[in-house]
Amino acid sequence: MTRYMRFHLNFGSLDGKQVLPEAVMRWMTKPAIVAPWFAFKSSEEEKVTSYLGYGLGLFLGQHGGWQYVYHGGFWAPYLTRMSLFPKKKVAVFTSANQGPASMNHVGVHTFIYDTLTGVNNGTEKASERLEKLRVEQARQVNEPVDAVPKFMQTITTATKQNEDISGKYGSGSSGNVEIFEKFNHQTDTTGIYMSYGRLAQAWLENIGGAYYRLIWDSDVIQDYY
C-alpha cells in the first residue's frame, strides 16, 4: 500500500520509472462530477475539510486550503480509507474493524497530516482535538451490538462452540454480520453460518481454537464508495 500511495504522490512514477504518464495521473484528479460537501468554521482553532467533486475513481477536496484526494473501501465489518495530500507529499492509509463505534478515518487522517506538517505539535491541545473526534463519533452510533470478544473465548465442545460465536457483530453505521446455526443439506449436518445480508454468506469451518475457515456460499462482492 505504501508503494501504491507513492505512485499517486509521484504522479505515476515509481522507483525512478514513469509507469503511467503524468498527464494521465493528473487527469484522474480533475473533477468529473460536482459534489459540494462544505463545512464552515465555528472557531479559529477548527480545521475545515471540504469536498468539491469526484474525479476518475477519486474524491477531491481541500483540507486547510490544501488539495486533498481520497478514496475508501468497505468489506463488512472493515472500513478503509486512503488520503493523499499531493502538494505536501503526504499520504495516510487506515483499515479498521468498525466495532460498536465507527472509527472516524477522516479525523485520524487529517490529524496525522496536521501533525506532520507542524499544525499540531503533540501538545495537550492537539490530543484533546483527537479525543473530541473519537467521542463525537461514538455518540453518533446508537444501535447496540453484541461484543466481539465472544470470538476469543476458549472452545471446548462443538455445542458450546456454536453457542459462543452465534450472534450479531458489526456496527450501527456499517451494518451487522450475523452468525447462527443452520442445517447444511449438502452434508446433512447442522453447521455454523455467517451472513452479511446477501452481500456475503459463508459456512464457518473450525480449524482449531478460535480460528475459522470461510466456505463461501455466495458470490464475493467488493463494495466501494
* pLDDT tens-place values along the chain, 225 residues long: 999 999 999 999 999 999 999 999 999 888 888 877 777 777 776 777 888 888 888 999 998 889 999 998 877 667 889 999 999 999 999 988 765 556 778 888 888 888 888 776 656 665 676 677 666 655 555 444 443 334 334 333 444 556 677 888 765 555 678 889 999 888 888 889 988 877 778 888 888 877 888 888 876 554 433
Task: State the Cα torsion 39-112-29-11 to the nearest 10°.
Answer: 160
Which residues lie closer than 8 Å to 185 by C-beta, 6 or more apart? none
DSSP class of residue 151? G
Cell numbers given for 48: 475545515
- Quote the pLDDT of residue 224: 34
- Give the per-residue SS3 of 65-110: CEEEEEEEEEECCEEEEEEEEHHHCEEEEEEEECCCCCCCHHHHHH
8 Å CB contact between 34 and 58: no
Map out the domains of the chain as residue ranges.
Answer: 2-140, 148-217
Taking the CA atoms of 122, 126, 132 and 133 in sequence, report the sign of the dihedral they define. Answer: negative
Strands of 157-217, DSSP E: 167-171, 175-184, 189-196, 200-208, 211-216
75 burial level (CB within 10 Å; 0-12, 13-18, 19+): middle
Which of 168, 206, 193 has the alpha carbon at shortest distance from 76?
Answer: 168
- Quote the pLDDT of residue 172: 53
pTM of whole model > 0.75?
no
CA distance 180 to 2: 38
Sequence-ordered alpha helix ranges (H) in the chain: 2-9, 22-28, 105-116, 124-140, 158-165
8 Å CB contact between 62 and 75: no
Q: Say whether 129 sits in a helix, a strand or coil.
A: helix
- Quote the pLDDT of residue 14: 92
- Residue range 2-140 forms a domain whose CATH class is alpha beta
